[in-house]
Chain A
Amino acid sequence: DAGVIQSPRHEVTEMGQEVTLRCKPISGHNSLFWYRQTMMRGLELLIYFNNNVPIDDSGMPEDRFSAKMPNASFSTLKIQPSEPRDSAVYFCASSPDRVGGYTFGSGTRLTVV
Chain B
Amino acid sequence: DAKTTQPNSMESNEEEPVHLPCNHSTISGTDYIHWYRQLPSQGPEYVIHGLTSNVNNRMASLAIAEDRKSSTLILHRATLRDAAVYYCILRELRDSNYQLIWGAGTKLIIKP
Contacts and interface: CB of A to CB of B under 8 A. Distances in A.
Nearest to A48: B99
Q: Is the interface of B mostly helix, strand, loop or mixed?
A: strand
The contact size tier of chain A is 20 to 34
Interface in A76-113: 91, 93, 98-107
Interface in A1-60: 42-45, 48, 50, 55-56
The contact size tier of chain B is 20 to 34
B85 to A, nearest CB: 10
B34 A101 contact: yes
B44 A42 contact: no
Nearest to A91: B43
B44 A91 contact: yes
A7 to B, nearest CB: 14
Given A101-B36, A107-B42, 14 more contacts: A42-B103, A43-B44, A44-B102, A45-B99, A48-B97, A50-B97, A91-B43, A91-B44, A99-B32, A101-B46, A102-B36, A104-B43, A104-B44, A104-B45
Interface of B: 32, 34, 36, 42-46, 48-49, 87, 91, 94-95, 97-100, 102-104
